[in-house]
Amino acid sequence: GENVEQHPSTLSVQEGDSAVIKCTYSDSASNYFPWYKQELGKGPQLIIDIRSNVGEKKDQRIAVTLNKTAKHFSLHITETQPEDSAVYFCAASGGFKTIFGAGTRLFVKA
Amino acid sequence: EPEVTQTPSHQVTQMGQEVILRCVPISNHLYFYWYRQILGQKVEFLVSFYNNEISEKSEIFDDQFSVERPDGSNFTLKIRSTKLEDSAMYFCASKDRYTDTQYFGPGTRLTVL
């Protein structure tokens, strides 16, 4: 069945450093790849997304890259801040179904 | 800014009981979803709903689950006979017809005793 692998499961960085989270998907029909941030006790909030016809997208300190051939996509956060600390989920969507990765718990140390 | 709302925020029930989780999607949205997240685990797709019918469902969404849009604003998830393993956060999401972005509600924590 469809699967999304996400690494690392935990990531600890110093404030100001960059953080990179990587995902791999299995379903070739996936054409939309959102990234969500989830804070404790809240629902996932979209932070950035990318469609399969685009290789890279940037929004201020956040960027996402997609390699459709290799079925890899990555989230890059630059100049990390303590408020970036949360769980981040990648997801792959095709049609009416969205499959999430297992999540990465990001700690940004001040 | 419009948002998805869910009630109740926490539901405690006895094993074997029926529960109904309620969601009010964003008003002009046409696509609706339910997800579940067992504590500390990933978000799992349950079902998508469009044009008053199920579009897709996962293997988790068995005969014990059903969804309904009883009126123009609510979207409900019913679990007929709850099991201990149904304990989880349940998230509703909705999206419009123009974009792929799903907006998630704050979730309902279901505890089955």
- The pLDDT tens digits of the residues spanning B19-64 come to 999 999 999 899 999 999 998 888 999 999 999 999 999 999 999 9
Q: Residue A49's closest chain B neighbor by CA?
A: B101
The answer to whether residue A1 scores a pLDDT higher than 70 is no
CB contact under 8 A, B41 and A102: yes
In 3-state terms, what secondary structure has residue B42? Answer: coil
Which of B56, B91, B101 has its CB closest to that of A43?
Answer: B91
A47-92 pLDDT, tens per residue? 999 998 889 999 999 999 999 999 999 999 999 999 999 999 999 9
Structure tokens at A37: 């941030």
Mean pLDDT of A31-55: 92
Interchain CB contact of B76 with A (< 8 Å): no
pLDDT at A51: 92
CB A5 within 8 A of CB A101: yes
How does the average pLDDT of chain B come out, rounded? 94
pLDDT at A40: 86
CB A17 within 8 A of CB A106: no
pLDDT at B2: 80
pLDDT level of residue B72 (50, 70, 90 thresholds): confident
CB contact under 8 A, A34 and B50: no
Which of B56, B91, B100 has its CB closest to that of A32?
Answer: B100
Instruction: Find the range with the poorest average confidence among A62-66, A89-93, B1-5, B76-80.
Output: B1-5
In angstroms, the Cα distances linking A71 to A9, A52, A88, B61, B100 are 19, 10, 19, 27, 19
A3-33 pLDDT, tens per residue? 999 999 999 999 999 999 999 999 999 999 9
